Chains A and B, each alone.
Chain A
Amino acid sequence: MSEIHEILEETAFLQCKVNGVSFEEEIHPSMSLLDLLREELKLTGTHMGCMTGHCGACTVSVDGRIIKSCITPAASVQRKKVITIEGLAGADDSLHPVQEAFCEASGFQCGYCAPGMVFSTVELLNEHPDPSDAQIRKALTGNLCRCTGYQSIVRSVRQAANQKTASGDHSE
C-alpha cells in the first residue's frame, strides 16, 4: 500500500516571467530554478553540471544579473524576470552579438558550457565594454570548461568586445 508523504506534497505558489512568458503555478518549495527551467518549462539549454554552484553550466539571468540556477531556489525568483539562453536571441531569432561571436570564433567544442559562458560574457561586456585579457579571464572564473583550455573562449569574448566597440553598442 503506498503512503502519501507530506514532505513530497508541499507546494509554494510561484509567479515569474521566463523569457517574457508568464509562469504562475504551484511548485515544490525545494525545487531549484534549474529544475524549474529544465523539467517544468523544458528549457533544456540551461545545463546541469554540478548542483553546487561551481561549474556555471546552469548560468541564467535574473532581473539582469547572472546567477547559478542550480543553487537558486525557484521560489526565490518570485515576481522576477528570468532570461535563459533560449531567450537571449532577438524576437526574430537573430543571435545576440555574444552568441554570434562564440559562433564566429569557435568559442566552444562540446558546447555544454557555452550557454553559461555566453551569459558571463554578456555581463562582463555590460560592465566593461573593452575588457583586458585579465578581466576576461576573471569574468569567466565562475564557468568551468573541460574541452578548450579556455583559449577559444577568451578569443570569442575578445571578438564580442571588438564588435561591440566597433558598433558603438553599449546596451545589453
Chain B
Amino acid sequence: MAEQPYIGRKEKAPDRVAFVSGRAHFSSDFAFEGQLHAHIIRSPHAAAKIRSVDLSGALKVSGVKIAIDGAGAAEHLDPIPHHIDPIVFGGRTTDLFCLAQDHTRYFGEPVAVVVATDKRTAQYAASRVVVDYEPTASVTDADLALKDDAPLVVLGWDDNSIMQVPFCGGDAEAAFKDADHIVKTQVRVHRQATQPIETRTYNAIWDEGGQSITLYASAQNPHPMRFALAKTLRMPENRLRVIAPSMGGAFGLKMHSHPEEALICLLAKLTKGAVKWTENREECLLIGGREQTHDIEFALREDGRILAIRDHFLANAGAPGATPGWGMAFLTGLTMPGPYDVGNLDVWANIVVTNKPPWSACRGFGKEITALALELCMDKAARELGLDPVEIRNRNFISSNDFPKKTATGLIYDSGDYAGALAKTVESIGYYDVKRNQEKWRGEGKYIGVGLGYEVTPEGGALPGTMVAGYDTSTVKVDPGGSVTILTGVTDPGGGNRIGIAQIVADELGVAIEAIRVLQGDTQTCPYGFGNYSGRSLIVGGGSAALAAQDIKEKIVKVAAALMEVEEGSIKIYRGVVTSSAKPESELSFNEVCYAAYTRAYDVAACIEQPLEATRTFKPGLISHLPDEQGKINPYPSYSNAAYAAVCEIDPGTGVVKLLKFAVTHDCGKAINPVLVEGQACGAVAFGIGGMMGEEIVFDEGGRQKTRNFEDYVMPRAADVPEIVMKHHDSPNPVTFMGLKGAGEAGVGGSAAAVVNAVNDALAHLGVEINDLPVTAPRIWSAIQKAQSAQKAAES
C-alpha cells in the first residue's frame, strides 16, 4: 500500500486562483471568428397543431444567416436517441425531434430557430417569425391524464402511461392482513428544477476542410453526447468533437439528449460557421423533475416493526423527452424500501406523460423521492403508534451485520451502519433537548420541532443497453521531465472531482500533487468515458486513474532499481524522492528516473516498455445484469447513505419556517477529500431545504408555465440555510477502490424529509400534518388556521 500524504487531506483546487479572478473558462465564455448566435422560438401552448411556420419576416432582417422550422430541420436530422429508451425497460417510446413539426406537446417546445450575427438581431428576427397554432386540449395533471377521456399526449399511444412497473417481493398482502396497525399517508411531491447558476451553452464550429464539428458544450457526458449527436446529425462520431470546459454546476441538467444540442451543430454545418446558443433562465426553468404522488402504507406490528410496505405511485414525467428524466421514477421504485429491513413489498410505479415540459435528470435521480415517501410515512407511523421517531427507525433498520444485503427489489447493498449514523446525527442536533423542551416552548407560544430523515442512495449505476455505464477509464502519462497528466473519462460538473483524482494519483505515484494536471471533458484527448452522474466520478474516475498510476509506478520502480543497482522491492518513492532501503545513503529524484526511463531505453530502462503511459478501466464489482431467479438485477456497486436532522421554528402568525439547526452524518465510504465531501453534502442539503421551503414550478390552467425566473422559483439564499453540522460515519465498500461509495448525489431526499418532519413535529400539538409539498408559509398558515378554528369549534 502506497503511503498517503494526500488522500484524506483537505487539498485545495490547484486551479483555484483562476476561479476567483475570472480566468476560468465556462462554455459561454468562448467566442470564435465570425461567431453567430441562435435564438429559439418556442411554443406558447401546452398542446397545439402547427398549421404553418412563416420564416420570411425573420429572413429579411439584415444580419440573419438562417432560419429554419421543424420541417426544415427534419430534412437534415434524424430523431434524437433516447438517453435511456423506455422500450429497453418494457415501456412505450416515441421519436423525438429537435424542433416540433406538425404539433407541439408542451409549453416551451422548440418550434423554429433563427441565427444572426449578434444576439440582439437574432432575438429581434425571431419576433418576426409567425407560427400559426391551433391550440388543442392539453392535460398537465397525472391523475387526469389517466382518465379515459384524457387527451393523448402522444398521438398513437393507447393511453398516457409510459409504463406501469412493479417492484414487489415477499407476500405483502398476507402481511397487511396480519398487521396490528396500518398507517397510510399521501405524499405529494411537486415539480422542482435543478437550476445550476450556469445555464446550458452550446457553441458549435464547423470545419469545412475536415467536414467536422467541434462543439463546446455544458456537457456532463461528452462521449455519449457525441454518440447521440452523430446519430441525429447523420455523421460518424469521428467527425465530431465535444469539449466540456469548466462547468458552472450541473446536477443532472447537463446530461445529454436535449433538443438544442444537435440543432446548434446543424446550424453550424448549414452556415459553415460558429453558432452559439446560451439558454436563458426562463428556458432553463422549463426543465424539471421530481413530481410524484405516493399513496404509501405501512403494515406494522404492535412494537413498530414494519411487516410490509405498499406504495402505488404516479409520476408526472411531462411530455416525452430524450434526456434520461423519465428513468427517475423507475429508480424511485427500485430504491424501496430504503434503509429498512422489509421483505414484503407491493410497490408499483405508473410513469405518466402530460403536457408539461419533459423531465430531465435531477440530482437524486428519483432516489430522493423514495426517501421522502418512506420518511414521511415513518413519522406518521411514529405518531400513530406513540413511538419515538428514533426508536421506530432503529427497530426497522437493516442491521450492520447483515451486509451485503439483498433487498426485495433485487438491489444488493454493499455496507452500512444506519443505526450508528443516525445516533451521531441525533447527538449533533441535540434531538432529545428539543423533545424535552418542546412542551415548555409551546407554552410560550413557540412552535419548535425536530425532524429526521434517512436516505440510502445507490451510486455508480449501470443500466444494461444504455449509455449509463458502470465503469470508466483514465490515462495517466508521466513525461521525461516528471510532470504527470491524467486524462479521464469522468467530467467535473463543478464539484471538484479533479482534485480528488489528483490526490489519489499523487499518492499512488509518490509525487507532489503540484506535479499533476487533470484534463477532462474532451472527446478528442480523453479516453472513451461516460462522464459524470450517479455519484460515480471518484469511484470509477479515481479508481481507474489509480490502476493506471500503479502500472506506471511499476515501470518507474524497475528503472529506479536498475539505476541504483538494487532490488525493486527496496525502492520507495515519496513526494518525488526515490530512495532504496538497500542504499540508504543515495537518493534520486522522481524526475531523474523518468528522464532515464525515456532516454536509456537500451540500457537501464531496457527492462520496461516505453512510454510512461497507461490506460486502465475500473469496473466495480457487485453490479449484476444477469437476472436472478425472480428476474431482478443489481445495477449499482455502491450504496452511500446518510442521516439528516433539522430543527425549525414556525411563526404561528405567518406560517414562516425558520431553520434553526441542521445536522448530517454521511457514509460515503472513504473520504478522499473531506472538503469535497462536505461541499457535496451541504450542497445537497440546500437542495433538500430549498425544494421543501420555496422551490415550486407551477402552471396555469392552460398548461402554460408560470414559473419564469428566480423571483418565481425561490431557491435558498445564504440567510435561509443554517450552519450544517457535518460528521462522517465511514463503512467502506468492499468492492470499490479504497472503499469509496460516492458522495455526489445523496442528501436531497433525506434532508427534504428532515425539514418536512420538523415542520410536522412543530405543529403536531395542533394535529396538523402536511405531506402535500412544499411546506411553504401560505400552506402552513392555512393549516394552522384550519386546526385552530376546528379547536375553537370543538371548545364552543
Contact = CB atoms under 8 A, between A and B. Distances in A.
Given A113-B197, A148-B683, A150-B686, A8 B121 contact: yes
Given A50-B281, A146-B196, A152 B61 contact: no
B24 A111 contact: yes
A34 to B, nearest CB: 11
Given A51-B280, A110-B198, 5 more contacts: A2-B59, A50-B709, A86-B21, A86-B22, A144-B197
Interface of A: 1-5, 7-8, 28, 30-31, 35, 38-39, 42-52, 54-55, 57, 84-86, 88-89, 95, 99, 102-104, 106-115, 118, 133-134, 136-138, 140-141, 143-154
B717 A110 contact: no
A52 B710 CA distance: 8
Given A112-B249, A146-B196, A146-B715, A152 B60 contact: no
Given A47-B248, A151-B682, A140 B717 contact: yes
Contacts of B22: 43-46, 84-86, 115
Contacts of A108: 16, 19-20
B710 A50 contact: yes
A61 B21 CA distance: 14
B495 interface: yes
Interface string B465-500: 000000000000000000000000000011110000
A160 B11 CA distance: 19
A140 B718 contact: yes
B539 to A, nearest CB: 19
Contacts of A118: 20
B614 to A, nearest CB: 30
B247 interface: yes
Given A2-B64, A112-B494, A8 B249 contact: no
A115 B678 contact: no
B683 A146 contact: yes
Interface residues of B, number: 65
B288 to A, nearest CB: 15
Contact of A111 (B29, B248, B683, B709): B248
B19 A52 contact: no
Nearest to B250: A110
A45 B278 CA distance: 16
B685 interface: yes
A85 B710 contact: no
A54 B197 contact: no
Nearest to A100: B20
Nearest to A31: B120
B183 interface: no
Contacts of B21: 45, 85-86, 88-89, 95, 99
B731 interface: no
A47 B26 contact: yes
B679 A111 contact: no
A103 B499 CA distance: 14
A112 B248 CA distance: 5
Contacts of A30: 120
14 contacts: A3-B61, A8-B121, A49-B198, A51-B281, A52-B709, A55-B281, A106-B16, A109-B496, A111-B248, A113-B248, A138-B719, A147-B679, A149-B685, A151-B724
B145 to A, nearest CB: 31
Contacts of B771: none
A31 B28 CA distance: 18
B281 A49 contact: yes
A49 B715 CA distance: 13
Contact of B679 (A31, A47, A95, A152): A152
B31 A48 contact: no
Contact of A95 (B17, B29, B687): B17
Interface string B181-207: 000000000000011111100000000
Contacts of A31: 120
Contacts of B124: 5, 7-8
B246 A110 contact: yes
B62 A5 contact: yes
B418 interface: no
Given A48-B28, A89-B21, A112-B26, A147 B494 contact: yes
Nearest to A46: B22
B711 interface: yes
A28 B120 contact: yes
B20 A103 contact: yes
B23 interface: yes
B66 interface: no
B131 interface: no
B251 interface: yes
A5 B546 CA distance: 60
A48 B195 CA distance: 13
A138 B24 CA distance: 27
Q: Ordered nearest first, which 7 A-B pairs have the shortest CB separation?
A: A45-B22, A110-B494, A112-B248, A111-B19, A149-B682, A54-B710, A85-B22
B355 to A, nearest CB: 26
Residue of B194, B679, B709 with highest tally of chain A CB at under 10 A: B679
Contacts of B679: 106, 109, 147-148, 151-152
Residue of A51, A84, A108 with highest tally of chain B CB at under 10 A: A108
A110 B281 contact: no
